[in-house]
Amino acid sequence: MNSNQLFERIENSKKPEFGDILSKSFELYKKVFSKGIIHALIMFALAIPFILAVYIPLLPFYIDMLQNAGDPYYQPTFLEGFSVVMIIVWVIVIFALSFVMQVLNISIYGHFLKVVKNEDLGLTEETGGYFTIAKKYFGKIILISLANMGISIVAMLACYFPLFYVMVPLQLVILIFIFNPEMSVENIIKAAFKLGNKYWFTFFGLIFISGLLSALGIILCYIGVIATLFFSYVVMYYMYKDTIGFEEENKSESWNVIVE
């Protein structure tokens, strides 16, 4: 699908039904539940090296705090032994690793969405590996991430209210990229804002409710997050399908009409 076709579909799209999307999301997530858990486990496994890279340099500081716990005259000495250059290098490394982590997580997210699409439409399309999207579109994902970050910073500087507004279109940017990876970054962002502006309240409600439901796993001492994390992604999938839709879906419907 090229950019003109995408913008035309957004323009002619029908308003998504809030309750219908949630209902369909519950039913579909039952079918892809085990696959969602696998994707979540992979994401958690990837997070471990990142967490270690962030906190290992801080271990001397935490050990020092524990050893001096209860001392009213204790003064933290975190910066002692660390040169300015070391601190700058550490910050740069963490910043770079965070972008790499984001690219890998987006790749896993995209792979799951393709699995969901195949399950929903009864397709047998090749989904690739968990990191196929990262390998093929690493640079584009970095550009999209930087653009999202820039938009968020500008919105935040404008007294926070615009940040509240742009959160919906920004949630759609990666979603549109996954299903239209060949489009330019500029057109992907334009499409996300065009779609987000059109159905802002419906999408905001769906994102908010699905986010709450996905976070219910925290009640089970965080272990349950693995089981609920990807439910919100199924909701995002239907947000895309019920507005923009897929060419494969249209072909399937035409075939059914012919058969009948």
Q: From CA 211, how far away is CA 224, in angstroms rounded?
A: 14
Judge whether 175 and 240 are in contact, CB under 8 Å: yes
pTM, 2 dp: 0.84
Q: Is residue 255 part of a domain?
A: no
For residue 174, the enclosing domain spans: 3-250
CA nearest neighbour of 82 among 60, 62, 104:
60
Q: Say if 260 falls within a structural domain.
A: no
Asked whether residue 174 is domain-assigned, the answer is yes
Q: Give the tens place of pLDDT for each residue, 1-29.
A: 788 889 999 999 999 999 999 999 999 99
Mean of all residue pLDDT scores within the chain = 84
The string of pLDDT tens digits covering residues 196-250 is 999 999 999 999 998 888 777 666 656 667 778 888 999 999 999 999 998 766 5
- Higher-scoring residue by pLDDT: 84, 76: 84
Looking up tokens 């001392």 gives: 71
Q: What is the pLDDT of residue 71?
A: 64
Q: Is 259 part of a structural domain of the chain?
A: no
Q: How many domains is the chain partitioned into structurally?
A: 1
Burial string for 135-150 (b: 16+ CB within 10 Å, else e) reads eebbebbebbbebbee
Which two structure tokens, joined as six digits, stand for 46? 């990837």
Please indicate whether residue 153 or residue 247 has the higher confidence score (pLDDT).
Answer: 153
**How much of the chain is helix, strand and coil, in % rounded to 5?**
80, 0, 20
Give a yes or no: residue 242 inside a domain: yes
The tokens describing 240, both together, are: 């895309």
The stretch 155-177 carries a mean pLDDT of: 87
Q: Which residue has the higher pLDDT, 63 or 114?
A: 114
